A and B are shown apart, each in its own frame.
Chain A
Amino acid sequence: MDDRMLSGAPFLHAGSSTRRIMLDVILSLTPAVIAALVIFGARSFLLICISAAACAAVEFAACKLLKRKNSAGDLSAVVTGVLLALTVPVSLYPPLILIGAVAAIFFVKMLFGGLGKNYVNPALAGWAVLTLIFPGRMTAWTKAFGYLGSADAATTATPLANVSTINSAETPGIPELIVGLHGGSIGETCAGALILGGIYLTARRVITPVIPAVFLGTAALISLIAGRNILTELCSGGLLLGAIFMATDYTTSPVTFKGQLIYAFGCGLVTMLIRILTPLPEGTGIAILLMNLLTPLIDRIAIARPFGVRSRFRGGKAA
């Protein structure tokens, strides 16, 4: 086609930018970061800082190595770093998180082409790698405010692990779940902070509520059918962190509305199937990673009926 026919439009832009979106995501994670600082102490903040800095550094180094334009400035690596740190227990030896950062940014993101090209959520991939290599350390949960006393001794189980072992005496009540005073990774325990972040993201129109709502709704429905405690299921095991901040990752979730419905339903379904049918107590991370891989296929089938084109299923005989 003759390039003279191309317009160069638009000459007016609505003003959004990748950097601004990533900045909004970082801001939306602030409540969760503060909650981590209060609940698990300064060590959690140290982990978050190391992880964020490491991810940005790996992205910068990867750009140099792969001879690409430096993209660390778009802040997406910082988002990955913060999210990665929020999935680890506070007791994790801080340098170990570097392994997760390299896996997330270099292997999962940059080698596949950088921002927008990865097949799975980099932060979750980093979490999966750490969990595979250090299964013990990655599930060594610490009691809330453990840092105030003798920090090393106070380990505990997550609420879901309690459910799994029918140790209901240890199951926390609703206020504990909202504030996050129970065992778990740095960022997954404080439901209130996560929901606050989700509200901010929705208000800033960074995300639409479709994926979190359908994800959580599906999980709640299955809990109800399975006769489990809905609030415990929703507020622990990283479900809120996953549904609000990870399943909504643009790159690894479908583009169309229809696709997002299918994807989020799948996330909720797989999470609950893992929790109910397997000995693994959490399930959220694996469910999202699995649905990430299905995203290209969902994008292929979940195309909206274009304007003026008749539906294949409705109206009129086939031509």
Chain B
Amino acid sequence: MRPEFPVRPFKTHGGIRLPAHRTTAREKTVTMPAPEICIIPLRQSSGAVCRALVRKGDRVWRGQKIGDTDDPFSVPVHASVSGTVLQIAATESSSGEMGEAIWIQSDGKMESLPNLRPPIVTDAEGFAAAIRESGLVDPGGDGFPTHIKLNPARQADTLIINAIESEPYLTCAYRCALEESRSVLEGVYAIKSFLNVHRVIIAVEENNPEAAKILGEIADNEEYDPDDEVRILTLPSVYPQGEEKTLIKACTDREVPPGKLPGDVGCIVMTIDSVVLIAKYLKTGMPLVSKRITVSGSAIYAPANVLVPIGARISDIIEFCGGFSAEPGNLLVGGPVSGKALRVMTAPIVKADTAILAFSEKDSAEREESACIRCGRCARVCPMRLAPALIEKAAASGNLSALRRLHADACTYCGACACVCPANRRLTDAIRRAAALPGAETPARKNDTERGKGGEENG
């Protein structure tokens, strides 16, 4: 039976149109040479902390596994440069998380592990196991391990390739499509065949016709796709269209319940840079050791798309982009809507990071928080159909039953509500606090999905 494809996207709730600020769209990705020191945190994904596999003074190569754990919901970490282990010490990462990290003194040669071999993959299970070994995590958040999505509780019928820039300023998805189109092509068809999925939707934004053209050619490849099982779908440029649950809704009209995974509704979502990493890993065996990020904002001297080694210190990356052109006010990791203020300049970049943005003092004037006027804009833009203003109020008074009724735990922390709030209330942080209150979570309901295996702990 031929799969059915949506002709136009399904309707999603809310969202906001934001200026794209795509200043680095024409900047070819530059590769950052090995910095003097790389700091590899032992926890770069949700799940358990890895155990160090090397000791102080050990020689390491690029691509060598230097930390691993038995926790299936966590992924191993690898050396991103060749050199010697300087120390294993508690270090604050870009997300503000404090944890053990392996410091590598680079020898500047970027030598790959000599016996690096491509994995031998024969079936879907072996594929997921191989992807775990590659250390791949989804971008954004605290790094959800990609291999878990590749081993869903039930057979997926749809693979969605996410080629949408998750936030303004970011251009890494576009540059990835443009520069790695061969790997995208191979990756898409490799994943499709291992997972035995017969419907692949490549999601692109309407305001990026160049990306749509390149990806359209990949989808229309006669040789790889004789049955026309891969198509592109153009989505409106509305934030947060690239967020996983919203994207699944727009592509399939299915809703992933709070705390559940795309696999629970028969979908697998892969970002375009994960597809490229998988294609390369299957070919060479080189795990996730470098990452294409966008370095931009009004305080960056030369905004660029940079291929950085994981663990490179943010100060070194900014230095590589010419340093600051103005006194930076806001300095953040991630996009401007859902990103996080950076606390320590020397913190290392981790696998889930997508961007470093620095804004001049002038562009960073703090917007003063004032009283909620109950205008309802937050509820109108919320893709999860929540009422952030009411959640904030319930959280402030510690009203747990109201928090449960308002489904505070269904929030995806996209930040659209805070972005439109005329009173500048920090709604995302308020909801984060609210959801962390013991007893605020919605009681699990058995019938939310038919099968919920694999989702309970890491949703």
Contact = CB atoms under 8 A, between A and B. Distances in A.
Contact of B432 (A1, A20, A115, A300): A1
Contact of B257 (A4, A9, A308): A308
A16 B422 contact: yes
B306 interface: no
A17 B375 CA distance: 11
B359 interface: yes
15 contacts: A5-B432, A6-B432, A8-B429, A9-B336, A11-B337, A17-B424, A115-B373, A304-B385, A306-B407, A307-B245, A308-B258, A310-B445, A310-B447, A310-B448, A317-B447
B257 A6 contact: no
A287 B346 CA distance: 61
A12 interface: yes
Contacts of A21: 373, 375, 422
Interface residues of A, number: 48
A319 B446 contact: yes
Contacts of B153: none
A20 B422 CA distance: 9
Contact of B433 (A6, A9, A250): A6
B402 to A, nearest CB: 8
B415 A304 contact: no
Most chain B CB within 10 A, of A116, A253, A306, A316, is at A306
A316 B447 contact: yes
Contact of A10 (B98, B386, B419): B419
A278 interface: no
A262 B55 CA distance: 66
Interface in B317-354: 330, 332, 336-341, 343
A11 B359 contact: yes
A1 B433 contact: yes
Contacts of A300: 405
For the complex, would chain A's binding face be called helix, strand, loop or mixed by DSSP majority? loop
Contact of A7 (B249, B340, B448): B340
Interface in A101-117: 113-117
Given A255-B379, A308-B448, 18 more contacts: A5-B96, A6-B426, A7-B428, A8-B332, A8-B340, A8-B426, A9-B429, A10-B419, A21-B422, A71-B371, A74-B370, A255-B387, A300-B405, A304-B387, A306-B386, A308-B255, A308-B257, A308-B260
Interface string A69-110: 001001010000000000000000000000000000000000
A13 interface: yes
A256 interface: yes
B406 A303 contact: yes
Nearest to B12: A307
Interface in A56-80: 71, 74, 76
A18 interface: yes
